[in-house]
Amino acid sequence: MSNRITPRSEDFPRWYQDVCQAGDLAENAPVRGCMVIKPNGYGLWENIQAPLDRMFKETGHENAYFPLFIPKSFLDREADHVEGFSPELAIVTHGGGKELEEPLVVRPTSETMIGHMWSKWIQSHRDLPMLLNQWANVVRWEMRPRLFLRTTEFLWQEGHTAHATAEEAEEETLRMLDIYERVCTEYLAIPVYKGPKSRAETFPGANCTYCVEAIMQDGKALQMGTSHNLGQNFAKAFDIQFQDVDGERKLAWTTSWGVSTRLVGAVVMAHGDDKGLVLPPRVAPVQVVLVPIFRKEEERAAVIAEASGIVERLKQAGVRAKLDDREQLKPGAKFFEWEKKGVPVRLELGPRDLADKQVVCVRRDDGSKTPLPILGIEAALGDLLDEIQKSLFTRAAERTRAQTSRAGSMEEFERMLQEPGGFVAAPWDGTDESELAIKERTKATIRIVLDEEAPEGACILSGKPAKRMALFARSY
């Protein structure tokens, strides 16, 4: 296990791998494409789950759990869905020592299983809206796995809702997209663009897929979350009908939406630096670490006592604080370790600080070092953590602005994809063909179709009159 972190400028993908390892986030599992999420990575995921779960519940959703295994025949019922997912499926053929009569699919997503159950549960308009969410693992066979970003098994939440009208389904789809935006910006400190995907990038079986997209430090886009308006496609495939107030039987309108452990990878790539992880305070498993410093044994007791007291008071005040009192490690080694792990604030307390009734406070995001009075440290650190959170967002927002440009021609487009990189808005004729041709030529795909009807200018590819502005980027 090498301790060196490859600089970002040298090799960004390698830097990412190094930081995931140095930050103790995750490792590749002995099963190809799967990962082991270590405590620091899982703690981060728990802190992403908490606000999501709270917001889902505040908007009327309830958690439920549907089976891991889905009969293969269920997927076949929705043509686009089965076509989209077939190449990625893991198949169980034997169970309990016998070959199964019908092979079971390990869920890649649960629209089909939930559609099947809803056809029984939903009978009347009184059963609507049906607002469910599930925290689960899913499996999509991955040929080019990368920790958190693309793994054969990943953890996620999948929301599934059914509504009486098309309007309500569309409102729900957008409401959940807004929640994803809030979690990205307010918790992960990552600014996002949001909007609809092009038809080519739409979820298999959806009428429309909306997404939130962010730019990473290497200028590539990362899809952070998606929210799908499924129209009546799954209601038709699974016969989800209800008797409406007017007495008529109607097909329901459904939605689904999800974010995954990929968001952990987003945090790494949006904020990390050449020293390792840089975690936003609101999702950091440890927000403040206190490293006691002493040379002589007689200094030890007083320093440790004060340090324990400070950490205890911080915990009481709701700060996720930790005292690093390991005896076998020197302070320098501890600094190095917590730096790699991205802990937002490090406090140092030595005999001299003790005499001065202060601690030395070191920010992970900018490396600045300032003394802080022990008296009232809870409030001061609360403020500091807020400030760091804001500062990380501001930095990411400035980077996003600098890496968003607008091209009027293919020449400009290709130049801007190189420099500044990131997102390039360009007029597009609205056809799959042009989108595909642009992708083949530049490796950039449409991340979001911008909300500008009939823009000026001509499609950068075909030269035909533009139908839409689209936000292109090379992406993960």
Q: Measured from the CB atom, is 238 or 294 closer to a second copy? A: 238
**In angstroms, rounded to a whole number, what is the distance separating the alpha carbons of residues 60 and 380?**
36
Are 287 and 281 in contact, with CB atoms under 8 Å apart? yes
Q: Measured from the CB atom, is 108 or 280 closer to a second copy? A: 108
**In angstroms, rounded to a whole number, what is the distance separating the alpha carbons of residues 110 and 228?**
13
Are 108 and 87 in contact, with CB atoms under 8 Å apart? no
Q: Does 318 bind a second copy (CB under 8 A)?
A: no
**In angstroms, rounded to a whole number, what is the distance separating the alpha carbons of residues 265 and 137?**
17
Q: Which of residues 104-143 bind a second copy (CB under 8 A)?
A: 104, 106, 113, 116-117, 126, 132, 136-137, 139, 141-143
Q: Which of 63, 316, 370, 394 binds a second copy (CB under 8 A)?
A: 63
Q: How many chain residues bind a second copy (CB under 8 A)?
A: 55
Alpha-carbon separation of residue 228 from 114, 209, 210, 251 (angstroms): 15, 4, 6, 17
**In angstroms, rounded to a whole number, what is the distance separating the alpha carbons of residues 170 and 256?**
11
Q: Which residues contact 315 (CB under 8 A, 6 or more apart)?
A: 321
Q: Does 88 bind a second copy (CB under 8 A)?
A: yes
Output the CA torsion sign for 440, 444, 450, 454: negative
* Tokens of residue 227, six digits: 């929210």
**In angstroms, rounded to a whole number, what is the distance separating the alpha carbons of residues 256 and 258?**
7
Q: Does 95 bind a second copy (CB under 8 A)?
A: yes
Q: Does 376 bind a second copy (CB under 8 A)?
A: no
Q: Judged by CB under 8 A, which stretch of 149-157, 159-167, 290-298, 450-458 contacts a second copy?
A: 149-157
Q: Measured from the CB atom, is 321 or 466 closer to a second copy? A: 321
**In angstroms, rounded to a whole number, what is the distance separating the alpha carbons of residues 9 and 274?**
9
* CB of 215 vs a second copy, minimal distance in Å: 28
Q: Does 48 bind a second copy (CB under 8 A)?
A: no
Q: Does 316 bind a second copy (CB under 8 A)?
A: no
Give the angle 277-281-286 at the CA atoms, nearest 5°: 75
Q: Does 42 bind a second copy (CB under 8 A)?
A: yes
* CB of 63 vs a second copy, minimal distance in Å: 5
Query: CA dihedral in degrees (267, 271, 276, 282; nearest 10)?
Result: -60
* Tokens of residue 176, six digits: 């959940």
Q: Measured from the CB atom, is 330 or 357 closer to a second copy? A: 330
**In angstroms, rounded to a whole number, what is the distance separating the alpha carbons of residues 57 and 458?**
45
Q: Does 86 bind a second copy (CB under 8 A)?
A: yes
Q: Measured from the CB atom, is 88 or 366 closer to a second copy? A: 88
* CB of 165 vs a second copy, minimal distance in Å: 18
Are 385 and 284 in contact, with CB atoms under 8 Å apart? no
Q: Does 50 bind a second copy (CB under 8 A)?
A: no
DSSP 328-367: SS-HHHHHHHHHHTT-SEEEEE-HHHHHHTEEEEEETTT-
Q: Does 476 bind a second copy (CB under 8 A)?
A: no
* CB of 117 vs a second copy, minimal distance in Å: 6
Q: Does 363 bind a second copy (CB under 8 A)?
A: no
Q: Which of 51, 55, 59, 71 binds a second copy (CB under 8 A)?
A: 71
Q: Does 247 bind a second copy (CB under 8 A)?
A: no
Q: Measured from the CB atom, is 116 or 194 closer to a second copy? A: 116
Q: Measured from the CB atom, is 308 or 391 closer to a second copy? A: 308
Q: Does 43 bind a second copy (CB under 8 A)?
A: yes
Q: Does 323 bind a second copy (CB under 8 A)?
A: no
* CB of 42 vs a second copy, minimal distance in Å: 5
Q: Which of 4, 96, 247, 296 binds a second copy (CB under 8 A)?
A: 96
Q: Does 55 bind a second copy (CB under 8 A)?
A: no
Q: End-to-end distance of the chain based on CA atoms, in angstroms?
A: 26
DSSP 272-291: -BTTB----TTT-S-SEEEE
Binding site for a second copy (CB under 8 A): 27, 29-31, 34-39, 42-43, 46, 62-71, 74, 86-97, 103-104, 106, 113, 116-117, 126, 132, 136-137, 139, 141-143, 152-153, 155, 326, 328
